[in-house]
Amino acid sequence: MAEVLTQDEIDALLAQLEGGTLDLSGPKPDKDKAKPQVRIYDFRRPDKFSRNQMRTLQMLYDHFARLVTSGLSARFRTPVKVTTASVDQITYEEFSGSLPNPGVIGVIAFSGLEGNAVLSISPDIAFPMLDRVFGGPGTSFESKRALTEIEQTVVTSIFRDLMGYLNEAWKSIVELGATLESVQTNPMFVQIVAPNEMTVVISLDIRVGDQLGTLSLCLPYLVVEPVLPKLTSKQWFAKMARGVGPDARRRLEQKLGTARVVLRVELGKTEITVGELLELTVGDVIELDQRVYEDLQVYVGQRVKFEGRPGRVGPRLALEISGLVEEGEDHTSE
């Protein structure tokens, strides 16, 4: 509600107006509010990637993480989990300074883009990976050291697998054509761009069994600049909505074809008491519920998939598949 002046206040204002002492400039502005809103801009670290492009890169490498999870789980035969931790814009000098020495660093070349990128696997997870490949439990090592020649050969094969997953993840944007150019252990020997050049660094957390580590990918701005207009959420979702293509389906079938599964045959079942078990001696016969003329059940994992008859192939015991269990008849073992 507006303030109402009294007659005395009105007379005082008229007197000041006649005497020339009335200030008509109005209230003085607040000095703090009068200051312009200034956003600090660091010319040494310019933001060259827009927020939309950073979000698209986040989604792209979430897809890459899922591909690596499924691929490495099959390779190491142990649970592997990969998640995108962060997507940041930093200078190449800051990235190279964060790399361990000695480390496990791969230099990547592209057929679809000009320039190189860097993929680094932290030693905390690289050595457990090597331990799994060599048949060990996948434990880490306390002392950090450079890779031996044999270990470099195995790491090179792991990097090449990662190149395939990287090409698959980028396929909706551009045919990347990523290949491994070299494997280095000293970050000082990996200078792909000037130290003050801006890059986008994608950090992924990777767990192999009980071991944790980091997978870091550094993409210089100069390398991805030609495809920046394609790094939009709209185009990403449009590409992904088209579904799985024949090439991706064929690669998936190839991966599944090399997966190992447990195949076992159940000769029959029976129940005995603990007392009968303790009294068993050499030469005793245990009668099963399976008839000699009945087909045996063949399990793939925990499910019955086939029926078969026992026999021999030379000196070896064998089983002849006599039938396929239909999907409706399928049941799990007790």
Mean pLDDT of 271-295: 87
24-58: per-residue pLDDT in tens?
665 555 555 555 666 555 555 556 778 888 888 88
Count how many Cα atoms sit within 13 Å of the Cα of residue 258 in the half-sphere of its side chain. 13
pTM for this prediction = 0.60
Task: Give me 105's structure tokens.
Answer: 């660093």
CATH class of 51-242: alpha beta
For residues 317 and 233, which has the higher predicted lDDT (pLDDT)? Answer: 317
Sequence-ordered strand ranges (E) for 92-197: 104-110, 116-121, 178-184
Domain boundaries, the chain: 51-242, 263-329
CA distance linking residue 118 with residue 110, whole number of Å? 11
Q: Which range has the worst mean pLDDT, 50-59, 245-254, 290-299?
A: 245-254
What percent of the chain has pLDDT above 90?
20
CATH fold match for the domains 51-242 and 263-329: no
Q: Which range has the worst mean pLDDT, 133-142, 170-179, 266-275?
A: 133-142
Domain 263-329 belongs in CATH node 3.30.950.10: no
Number of neighbouring beta carbons within 10 Å of residue 281: 5
pLDDT band at 106 (very low <50, low <70, confident <90, very high): very high
323-333: per-residue pLDDT in tens?
888 764 545 44
Mean pLDDT of 237-263: 70
Mean pLDDT of 250-260: 78
Give residues with Cβ within 8 angstroms of 110, minimum separation 6.
Answer: 116, 117, 176, 177, 178, 179, 223
pLDDT band at 334 (very low <50, low <70, confident <90, very high): very low
Task: Give me 233's structure tokens.
Answer: 């959420």
* Torsion of Cα atoms, 165 then 168 then 170 then 172, to 10°: -160
pLDDT band at 233 (very low <50, low <70, confident <90, very high): low
